[in-house]
Protein backbone atom coordinates (compact mmCIF):
# COMPACT_ATOMS: atom_id res chain seq x y z
CA UNK A 1 0.00 0.00 0.00
CA UNK A 2 1.39 3.40 -1.02
CA UNK A 3 1.74 6.06 1.64
CA UNK A 4 2.45 9.78 1.55
CA UNK A 5 4.93 11.12 4.10
CA UNK A 6 4.62 14.59 5.61
CA UNK A 7 7.01 16.39 7.96
CA UNK A 8 5.57 18.91 10.39
CA UNK A 9 8.39 21.20 11.67
CA UNK A 10 6.35 22.58 14.59
CA UNK A 11 6.03 19.26 16.34
CA UNK A 12 9.00 17.63 14.56
CA UNK A 13 6.99 14.48 14.06
CA UNK A 14 6.21 12.48 10.94
CA UNK A 15 2.73 11.58 9.84
CA UNK A 16 1.83 9.01 7.21
CA UNK A 17 -1.35 9.34 5.23
CA UNK A 18 -2.75 6.42 3.30
CA UNK A 19 -2.54 7.49 -0.35
CA UNK A 20 -5.77 5.68 -1.12
CA UNK A 21 -7.58 8.20 1.09
CA UNK A 22 -6.29 11.04 -1.08
CA UNK A 23 -7.77 9.56 -4.23
CA UNK A 24 -11.24 10.97 -3.47
CA UNK A 25 -10.00 14.53 -3.03
CA UNK A 26 -10.69 17.58 -5.22
CA UNK A 27 -8.40 20.08 -3.51
CA UNK A 28 -5.62 19.48 -6.04
CA UNK A 29 -7.80 20.20 -9.10
CA UNK A 30 -6.93 17.07 -11.08
CA UNK A 31 -8.62 16.60 -14.45
CA UNK A 32 -9.09 13.89 -17.04
CA UNK A 33 -9.27 14.47 -20.78
CA UNK A 34 -12.99 13.80 -20.99
CA UNK A 35 -14.10 15.72 -24.07
CA UNK A 36 -17.58 14.20 -23.86
CA UNK A 37 -18.28 15.62 -20.41
CA UNK A 38 -21.49 17.63 -20.34
CA UNK A 39 -22.75 19.58 -17.35
CA UNK A 40 -26.40 20.57 -17.12
CA UNK A 41 -25.63 24.29 -16.95
CA UNK A 42 -23.52 24.31 -20.14
CA UNK A 43 -26.51 24.94 -22.42
CA UNK A 44 -27.65 27.88 -20.29
CA UNK A 45 -24.22 29.51 -20.38
CA UNK A 46 -23.87 28.92 -24.11
CA UNK A 47 -27.28 30.47 -24.72
CA UNK A 48 -26.23 33.62 -22.86
CA UNK A 49 -23.24 34.22 -25.15
CA UNK A 50 -23.74 35.57 -28.69
CA UNK A 51 -21.93 34.24 -31.73
CA UNK A 52 -18.43 35.62 -32.22
CA UNK A 53 -18.07 37.11 -28.73
CA UNK A 54 -14.66 37.51 -27.14
CA UNK A 55 -14.71 35.50 -23.93
CA UNK A 56 -12.49 34.23 -21.15
CA UNK A 57 -13.28 31.12 -19.12
CA UNK A 58 -11.89 31.49 -15.61
CA UNK A 59 -11.17 28.17 -13.94
CA UNK A 60 -11.73 26.39 -17.25
CA UNK A 61 -10.63 22.93 -16.05
CA UNK A 62 -10.11 20.57 -18.97
CA UNK A 63 -11.59 23.07 -21.42
CA UNK A 64 -14.82 21.25 -22.28
CA UNK A 65 -17.06 24.33 -22.03
CA UNK A 66 -14.55 26.59 -23.78
CA UNK A 67 -14.20 24.07 -26.60
CA UNK A 68 -17.97 23.80 -26.99
CA UNK A 69 -18.28 27.58 -27.15
CA UNK A 70 -15.64 27.78 -29.86
CA UNK A 71 -17.33 25.11 -31.95
CA UNK A 72 -20.96 26.17 -31.52
CA UNK A 73 -20.66 29.94 -31.06
CA UNK A 74 -17.39 30.69 -32.91
CA UNK A 75 -16.20 32.68 -29.91
CA UNK A 76 -12.73 34.16 -29.61
CA UNK A 77 -11.92 32.23 -26.48
CA UNK A 78 -9.21 32.22 -23.84
CA UNK A 79 -8.94 30.55 -20.45
CA UNK A 80 -7.12 30.60 -17.13
CA UNK A 81 -6.65 27.43 -15.09
CA UNK A 82 -4.64 26.84 -11.92
CA UNK A 83 -3.98 23.16 -12.56
CA UNK A 84 -0.95 22.38 -14.76
CA UNK A 85 -2.69 19.16 -15.77
CA UNK A 86 -5.80 21.08 -16.82
CA UNK A 87 -3.74 23.58 -18.82
CA UNK A 88 -1.92 20.77 -20.63
CA UNK A 89 -5.20 19.09 -21.59
CA UNK A 90 -6.62 22.40 -22.86
CA UNK A 91 -3.56 23.16 -24.92
CA UNK A 92 -3.67 19.69 -26.48
CA UNK A 93 -7.14 20.64 -27.72
CA UNK A 94 -5.70 23.78 -29.30
CA UNK A 95 -7.24 26.10 -26.72
CA UNK A 96 -5.59 29.36 -25.68
CA UNK A 97 -5.28 28.66 -21.95
CA UNK A 98 -2.68 29.87 -19.47
CA UNK A 99 -1.88 28.72 -15.96
CA UNK A 100 -2.66 31.08 -13.11
CA UNK A 101 -4.91 32.06 -10.25
CA UNK A 102 -8.21 33.76 -10.93
CA UNK A 103 -8.75 35.27 -7.48
CA UNK A 104 -5.99 37.86 -7.74
CA UNK A 105 -5.16 40.74 -10.10
CA UNK A 106 -4.92 39.20 -13.57
CA UNK A 107 -2.74 40.42 -16.39
CA UNK A 108 -5.57 41.57 -18.66
CA UNK A 109 -6.56 45.08 -19.66
CA UNK A 110 -9.83 46.66 -18.59
CA UNK A 111 -12.74 45.50 -20.77
CA UNK A 112 -10.46 43.12 -22.64
CA UNK A 113 -13.37 40.69 -23.13
CA UNK A 114 -17.05 40.83 -23.93
CA UNK A 115 -17.83 38.03 -21.46
CA UNK A 116 -16.00 36.43 -18.57
CA UNK A 117 -17.30 33.05 -17.44
CA UNK A 118 -16.76 31.31 -14.11
CA UNK A 119 -18.66 28.04 -14.02
CA UNK A 120 -19.09 26.34 -10.60
CA UNK A 121 -15.67 27.60 -9.44
CA UNK A 122 -16.14 30.82 -7.47
CA UNK A 123 -16.82 28.89 -4.24
CA UNK A 124 -13.51 27.04 -4.68
CA UNK A 125 -11.37 30.19 -4.68
CA UNK A 126 -9.63 31.71 -1.68
CA UNK A 127 -10.81 35.23 -2.52
CA UNK A 128 -14.17 35.06 -4.36
CA UNK A 129 -14.75 38.78 -3.95
CA UNK A 130 -11.50 39.56 -5.80
CA UNK A 131 -12.51 37.16 -8.57
CA UNK A 132 -15.83 38.96 -8.97
CA UNK A 133 -14.11 42.34 -8.97
CA UNK A 134 -11.64 41.19 -11.62
CA UNK A 135 -14.42 39.78 -13.78
CA UNK A 136 -16.11 43.18 -13.60
CA UNK A 137 -12.88 44.92 -14.58
CA UNK A 138 -11.86 42.77 -17.54
CA UNK A 139 -15.25 42.14 -19.16
CA UNK A 140 -18.47 43.91 -20.07
CA UNK A 141 -20.61 40.98 -18.98
CA UNK A 142 -20.04 38.29 -16.35
CA UNK A 143 -21.55 34.79 -16.19
CA UNK A 144 -21.27 32.93 -12.89
CA UNK A 145 -22.74 29.66 -11.66
CA UNK A 146 -22.31 27.89 -8.33
CA UNK A 147 -23.91 25.21 -6.14
CA UNK A 148 -26.52 26.84 -3.94
CA UNK A 149 -25.76 26.09 -0.30
CA UNK A 150 -29.26 27.26 0.62
CA UNK A 151 -30.75 24.30 -1.28
CA UNK A 152 -33.51 22.66 0.76
CA UNK A 153 -31.81 19.25 0.97
CA UNK A 154 -28.76 20.90 2.55
CA UNK A 155 -30.96 22.61 5.13
CA UNK A 156 -32.76 19.40 6.00
CA UNK A 157 -29.57 17.39 6.32
CA UNK A 158 -27.98 19.92 8.65
CA UNK A 159 -31.18 20.28 10.68
CA UNK A 160 -31.85 16.56 11.06
CA UNK A 161 -28.32 15.12 11.16
CA UNK A 162 -26.25 18.06 12.36
CA UNK A 163 -23.42 17.39 9.89
CA UNK A 164 -21.97 19.23 6.90
CA UNK A 165 -24.53 18.62 4.13
CA UNK A 166 -23.15 15.98 1.77
CA UNK A 167 -25.50 16.97 -1.03
CA UNK A 168 -23.62 20.22 -1.57
CA UNK A 169 -20.23 18.48 -1.64
CA UNK A 170 -21.03 16.24 -4.63
CA UNK A 171 -19.51 13.06 -3.25
CA UNK A 172 -16.72 14.60 -1.16
CA UNK A 173 -16.50 15.11 2.59
CA UNK A 174 -16.07 18.36 4.53
CA UNK A 175 -12.33 17.71 5.03
CA UNK A 176 -11.30 16.67 1.50
CA UNK A 177 -13.13 19.18 -0.66
CA UNK A 178 -12.03 22.36 -2.36
CA UNK A 179 -15.50 23.84 -1.81
CA UNK A 180 -14.20 26.27 0.78
CA UNK A 181 -16.58 29.21 0.32
CA UNK A 182 -20.08 27.80 0.06
CA UNK A 183 -22.76 30.41 -0.56
CA UNK A 184 -26.48 30.62 -1.15
CA UNK A 185 -28.37 32.43 -3.89
CA UNK A 186 -29.13 35.23 -1.42
CA UNK A 187 -25.45 35.48 -0.41
CA UNK A 188 -24.41 35.83 -4.04
CA UNK A 189 -27.04 38.45 -4.82
CA UNK A 190 -25.82 40.47 -1.82
CA UNK A 191 -22.24 40.23 -3.09
CA UNK A 192 -23.20 41.52 -6.54
CA UNK A 193 -24.83 44.50 -4.85
CA UNK A 194 -21.67 45.25 -2.88
CA UNK A 195 -19.71 45.42 -6.15
CA UNK A 196 -22.37 47.42 -8.01
CA UNK A 197 -23.12 44.70 -10.53
CA UNK A 198 -26.54 44.46 -12.17
CA UNK A 199 -28.29 41.13 -12.64
CA UNK A 200 -29.46 40.91 -16.25
CA UNK A 201 -30.55 37.29 -16.15
CA UNK A 202 -30.91 34.52 -13.58
CA UNK A 203 -31.60 31.01 -14.81
CA UNK A 204 -31.48 27.44 -13.60
CA UNK A 205 -31.49 23.96 -15.08
CA UNK A 206 -35.02 22.96 -16.06
CA UNK A 207 -36.01 20.02 -13.81
CA UNK A 208 -38.47 18.73 -16.41
CA UNK A 209 -41.34 19.00 -13.96
CA UNK A 210 -43.72 22.02 -14.18
CA UNK A 211 -44.39 22.08 -10.44
CA UNK A 212 -40.68 21.92 -9.52
CA UNK A 213 -39.89 24.57 -12.13
CA UNK A 214 -42.52 26.89 -10.62
CA UNK A 215 -41.14 26.37 -7.11
CA UNK A 216 -37.59 27.02 -8.31
CA UNK A 217 -38.75 30.28 -9.91
CA UNK A 218 -40.70 31.43 -6.85
CA UNK A 219 -38.16 30.36 -4.21
CA UNK A 220 -34.72 30.30 -5.87
CA UNK A 221 -32.75 30.29 -2.62
CA UNK A 222 -34.62 27.21 -1.45
CA UNK A 223 -35.03 25.06 -4.55
CA UNK A 224 -32.35 25.95 -7.13
CA UNK A 225 -29.35 23.62 -6.96
CA UNK A 226 -27.06 25.35 -9.51
CA UNK A 227 -28.17 28.88 -10.45
CA UNK A 228 -26.60 30.72 -13.37
CA UNK A 229 -26.31 34.53 -13.30
CA UNK A 230 -25.63 36.98 -16.11
CA UNK A 231 -24.25 40.26 -14.75
CA UNK A 232 -23.08 43.60 -16.08
CA UNK A 233 -21.51 46.76 -14.70
pLDDT digits (tens, 9 = 90+) for 39-92: 899 999 999 999 999 999 999 999 999 999 999 999 999 999 999 999 999 999
The domains of the chain, with CATH numbers, are 3-232 (3.40.50.150)
Say what the pTM is. 0.86
Taken in order 207, 125, 155, 187, the sign of the CA dihedral is: negative
- 1 contact partners, CB below 8 Å, separation of at least 6: 18, 19, 20
Mean pLDDT over the full length of the chain: 87
Residues composing the chain: 233
Separation of alpha carbons 101 and 176, rounded Å: 20
Amino acid sequence: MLTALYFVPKSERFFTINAAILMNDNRNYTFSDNSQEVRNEFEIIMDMIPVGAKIIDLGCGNGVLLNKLKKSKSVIGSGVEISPEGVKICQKKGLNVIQGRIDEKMNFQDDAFDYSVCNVTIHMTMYPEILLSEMKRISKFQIISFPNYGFYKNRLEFLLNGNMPRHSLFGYKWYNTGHIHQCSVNDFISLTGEYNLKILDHRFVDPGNPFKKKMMSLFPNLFQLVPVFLLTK
